Amino acid sequence: MQVKKAVIPAAGLGTRFLPATKAIPKELLPVVNKPVIQYVVEEAVAAGIVEAIFVVSSGKSAILDHFDYLFEIEETLRQRGKKDLLREMETLHELASIISVRQKKPLGLGHAILTAKDVVGDQPFAVLLGDDLIDSKVPCIRQMIDVYEKTGAAVVGVMEVPPSDVPLYGIVKGVQEGPRLLRVDAMVEKPSVAEAPSNLAIVGRYVLPPSIFEAIEKTKPGKGGEIQITDALAQLARDKGVVAYQFEGDRYDVGDRVGFLLANAVFGLRDPQLRDRFRSALKALLEKSQEG
């Protein structure tokens, strides 16, 4: 069965970006001229996803508004003859079918995914976290869907991280099954460096079978009193199997302030309208800081 639905958890408070996120959802913070969440949806659509299911909390309606039709803006652009910008706005509400479900309490990523159960139904689905931008020639989630279609097993996207970062992630260990592919035999949520089975960290991309919902329902609260998707996947690995895929591409953690700044720099230097001026400005800034 083809993967056509994506769950996009967007219920977090964004406390690492306060006070900016007091009134603006963190998912709408811009990387150059587009909000983070738009890059994520565009990745999903480029991978063949046709339905995006946002898991939101109170105060996150602006995320849905971003992908909706707004007459005042589009009509103003039309009257002013700004055809390119108008087309860009029209593309937003044509990207995918957008559905939202509410996570009423912040009970963890596993619980957030579970809230989408009735909308997903009995189908495999992708999960993309808005905190991770992955820059790659082939969309990261497309790479993982291809792996799912070949193996039939749940797929987690992983990357190597330095030992100091190990306690920040779910960590996997497995047996090599092919290029960039491991059959998972151990999975631990945010272990200490001493407890970690490897330095392969799960980042914000998953392709999951519908059986994950039953595994989540059986999962008790773990780290931080939350229902961790890593714990549910560990159960799934024992029962039906999980594979870890080391995706091709560069990942930017835009939920971290330094990662957010790096993403803006990288995407800014790529923008044909900005790159020359931006590169010159960065060079002058670096020279000035070295003088000081």
86 and 156 inside one domain: yes
In the block, tokens 């339905």 appear at: 51
215 and 229 inside one domain: yes
- Where in the sequence is the domain holding 261, given as residue range(s)? 257-292
253-273 tens-digit pLDDT = 998 899 999 999 999 999 999
Q: Is the pTM of this model over 0.85?
A: yes
49 and 133 inside one domain: yes
162-191 tens-digit pLDDT = 999 999 888 998 898 888 999 998 888 888
285 and 214 inside one domain: no
Hey, how many other C-beta atoms are within 10 angstroms of the C-beta on 120? 22
User: Which residue from 99, 54, 32 is spatially nearest to 271, judged by alpha carbons?
Assistant: 32
149 and 160 inside one domain: yes
Phi-psi region of 59 (alpha: psi -120 to 50; beta: other; left: phi over 0): left
167 and 144 inside one domain: yes
34 and 146 inside one domain: yes
103-126 tens-digit pLDDT = 888 888 999 999 999 999 999 999
275 and 136 inside one domain: no
Total count of domains within the chain: 2
268 and 242 inside one domain: no
User: Which residue from 142, 58, 40 is spatially nearest to 100, judged by alpha carbons?
Assistant: 58
216 and 281 inside one domain: no
Question: CA-CA distance, 37 to 31, in Å (whole number)?
Answer: 10
Question: CA-CA distance, 1 to 34, in Å (whole number)?
Answer: 32
142 and 53 inside one domain: yes
Query: Helices 140-151 and 36-46, interaxial angle, to 10°?
Result: 40
What sections of 5-70 are H helices per DSSP?
Answer: 36-46, 61-66
171 and 261 inside one domain: no
Nearest 5 degrees, angle CA 46-CA 48-CA 49?
100
